[in-house]
A and B are shown apart, each in its own frame.
Chain A
Amino acid sequence: MTARKRGAAIDIKGATKRYGNFTALDDVSLHIEPGEFMTLLGPSGSGKTTTLNVVAGFTDLTSGDLAVGGKSIVALPAHKRNIGVVFQHYALFPHMTVGKNVAYPLTLRGMDKQARDRLVVRALDMVKMSDFAHRYPSELSGGQQQRVALARAIVFDPPLLLMDEPLGALDKKLREWLQLEIKRIHRELGTTFVYVTHDQEEALVLSDRIAVFNQGRIEQVGTGRQLYDEPTTLFVAKFIGESTSLRGTALTSGNETSLTIAGQKIVANGKLASGSKPVVLLRPEKLLLAGTNTPPAAGQNSLTGQVSEAIYLGSGSKYQVTLRDGSVAIVRSSLEATPFSIGDTVDLRWSVVDAKLLADDDRADMTMT
């Protein structure tokens, strides 16, 4: 076994793809480190799959550049790019056995039978499918087929592996197990992985970094933690994890900005122009419920509302609190917190520093999954 080269770096610069009047990709730039696990996350039609197809060479760019390992590959046809691709629907060749399928890229590269067999066995071992080499794809389950497809995509040792919603057609249990398998294989190979999904949980499980796509653009790139804790757009905030977004009107005097939400005043975490209408973003675990008779602690904001839903989850409780203007907040509280029931009037409280102020954005609303 030869020493494995590390994965290749990828640079996408100003990638734009237009179909007539429709812009599928709008000036997308993204740098991916060698060996990184990068997930392209977004709703359908957001441009993530187009990006993958552009890198694979199935789709030509209208403008922009694409480099793998520092060399531009825009002009290279798909078959000269040496990039592994795993498709959502496996795309195994039905007229070839599992072994022949996995050997196919090696046959194309003119490798002799002995070396070929050795690599096929190793790739099938890696995905734990070596006992199935003589079966035809139609004799395998979906999960098995996808593992074979993965073996076929890595057997020729590409510096970059692209995966297009590979687990999309599988049931939840299998999906969760294969996610861990993919993570393990990524660690063992050191290849750069680019993974497309619309499932934010899957993205969080797998990725070193996530690029969130929306309407042909990248909204934000970062680790899962960065996207969750420090979203820069309302779209990202809503797409990753649960959140409450409250719309308010800003009033600034001196160094302090206050916001009016549902007729009540709170302190803003930052300075805004008077009259601007930001969104206050709050994660469910940062919110607390308290009885209206207890005063808020120092540095806490408080809004009064009514419990409209209370769900016991075992590890804690989940509440929906409806404010006077009709907006709804989601609160996750621990077992130790005082329980409330539907109809109770409560105070919704949070530390001023735990709120994120974001610009309002219509596009964020139509994209909930």
Chain B
Amino acid sequence: MSQTSHTPTAGGDHPRPPGAVRAPQRRLRLAAYPSLLAMPALALLIAAMGYPLLTVTLRSFSDPSWGLQNYVWFFSTPVNVTVLWRTFSIAAWVTIVCVIAAYPYAYLMTAVGPRLRLVLILCVLVPFWVSGVVRTLAWVILLQDSGIINSVIRLLGFDGVKLIRTQTGVVIGMAQVLLPFMILPLYSVMRGIDLRLVQAARSLGARPARAFLQIYLPLSLPGVFAGAIIVFILSLGFYITPALLGGPRSTMLSTLVQSQVLSLLNWGRGGAMGVVLLVATFVLLALAAPLMRQRHKQASRS
């Protein structure tokens, strides 16, 4: 999920004692079947993702009896459809907020010196090391009606704003949690953009704003798309943040799934909800794919 995940370099490369005669043979076999390198990760994915997913899907069609009744129930209950729509709309808002907040930040990271860049990277990563629950509780303290944000607003002479248990509060909290997933892919793409291209555009007669919009922005879009997809998909499945920061009017689908499965023990309906979310996500990604396809190869940088 994280952008910084490492490819496992399983087997083959451990330092061997000098007497290990069989080692070359073993390495040969690994070279013949490079796909073996993916085995540990694949095994984990199949066990932890594939099997449960299959079970959930199956039960959505078979629990309590075979048929489409769970799906019929889902789409004929207005609150479900409302929540599904809301889930996507919250995810979209979170993505938009993340893009707006991350873009200038990532750009700054490419523009500053190495020391300041390290500080900026740490600012992104440190919240990662704090549990999501703690971070969300921090937002509860900040956003609540008597919290800091509202105190400041009142101090300035305005009426207080309702933030906690609203959709706005949920979006703010989720955007903060997910911001690094937007900043890091953006930064990695922006770092590769040759700033001399912007200089070239200026020499050809482009105002700074135009050089940015016509040269820099298009070249940074792959990073925007990569980050947006990660943030959007993670948002769809968010549970803790909406549960703690949201109210009944900002319930997301994961909360409904939780109540169906854990409170009502209705695996069939919970499964159907999960499948609907999954399929809707795939459809959306398929629709967005042509937009994101790069119409050019990355320029070779000598």
Contacts and interface: CB of A to CB of B under 8 A. Distances in A.
Interface stretch (B165-173, B244-252, B259-267, B292-300): B292-300
A143 to B, nearest CB: 12
A152 B203 CA distance: 11
B299 A94 contact: yes
A contact face: mostly helix, strand, loop, or mixed = loop
Interface in B198-229: 199-208, 210-211, 215, 218-219
Interface of A: 56-58, 77-85, 87, 89, 91-96, 104-105, 108-109, 136-139, 142, 152-153, 156, 169
B210 A56 contact: no
Contacts of A91: 194, 196-197, 199-200
B25 interface: no
A105 B302 CA distance: 24
Contact of A58 (B194, B199, B296): B199
14 contacts: A56-B203, A58-B199, A78-B199, A79-B202, A79-B211, A85-B200, A87-B200, A89-B301, A91-B194, A93-B197, A95-B296, A96-B296, A138-B297, A152-B204
B140 to A, nearest CB: 44
Please list the 5 inter-chain residue pairs (A to B) with the smallest Cβ-Cβ separation, ordered nearest first: A94-B299, A91-B200, A105-B204, A85-B203, A78-B202
A81 B201 CA distance: 12
Given A94-B297, A137-B299, A169-B302, A89 B194 contact: yes
B200 A94 contact: no
Interface centre among A57, A92, A94 (most CB of B within 10 A): A94
A120 to B, nearest CB: 13
B224 to A, nearest CB: 14
A91 B200 CA distance: 6
A83 B203 contact: yes
Contact of A136 (B204, B218, B297): B297
A87 B215 contact: no
A82 B296 contact: no
Interface in B113-158: none
Which of A77, A92, A95 gathers most chain B CB within 10 Å?
A: A95
Given A94-B296, A153-B204, 16 more contacts: A78-B203, A79-B202, A79-B211, A80-B205, A82-B205, A85-B199, A89-B301, A91-B197, A92-B200, A94-B297, A94-B298, A95-B219, A95-B296, A104-B206, A138-B297, A139-B297
A300 B58 CA distance: 106
A104 B204 contact: yes
Contacts of A142: 302
Interface in B252-302: 295-302
Contacts of B204: 79, 104-105, 108, 152-153, 156
Contacts of B202: 57-58, 77-79
A79 B206 contact: yes
A82 B205 CA distance: 7
A109 B200 contact: no
Contacts of A156: 204-205
B208 to A, nearest CB: 8
Contacts of A56: 203
Contacts of B215: 93
A138 B201 contact: no
Contacts of A82: 205
Nearest to A91: B200
A53 to B, nearest CB: 9
A85 B200 CA distance: 7
B186 to A, nearest CB: 17
A215 to B, nearest CB: 25
Given A79-B206, A136-B297, A169-B302, A89 B201 contact: no
B132 to A, nearest CB: 37
Contact of A138 (B196, B208, B219, B296): B296
Contacts of A87: 196, 199-200
Interface string B183-199: 00000000000101101
Given A83-B203, A104-B204, A105-B205, A136 B302 contact: no
B293 to A, nearest CB: 13
A156 B205 CA distance: 10
A259 to B, nearest CB: 50
Most buried by A among B197, B203, B207: B203
A58 B195 CA distance: 12
A89 B196 contact: yes
B296 A79 contact: no
Contacts of A108: 204-206, 210
B262 to A, nearest CB: 49
A79 B207 contact: yes
B158 to A, nearest CB: 41
A169 B203 CA distance: 21
A144 to B, nearest CB: 12
Contacts of A139: 297
A109 B205 CA distance: 8
Contact of B300 (A81, A95, A138, A153): A138
B184 to A, nearest CB: 22
A204 B252 CA distance: 73
B298 A79 contact: no
Contacts of B296: 94-96, 136, 138
B218 A95 contact: yes
A20 B288 CA distance: 50
B302 A89 contact: yes
Nearest to A85: B203
Nearest to A149: B200
B302 A79 contact: no
A93 B207 CA distance: 16
Contacts of A138: 296-300
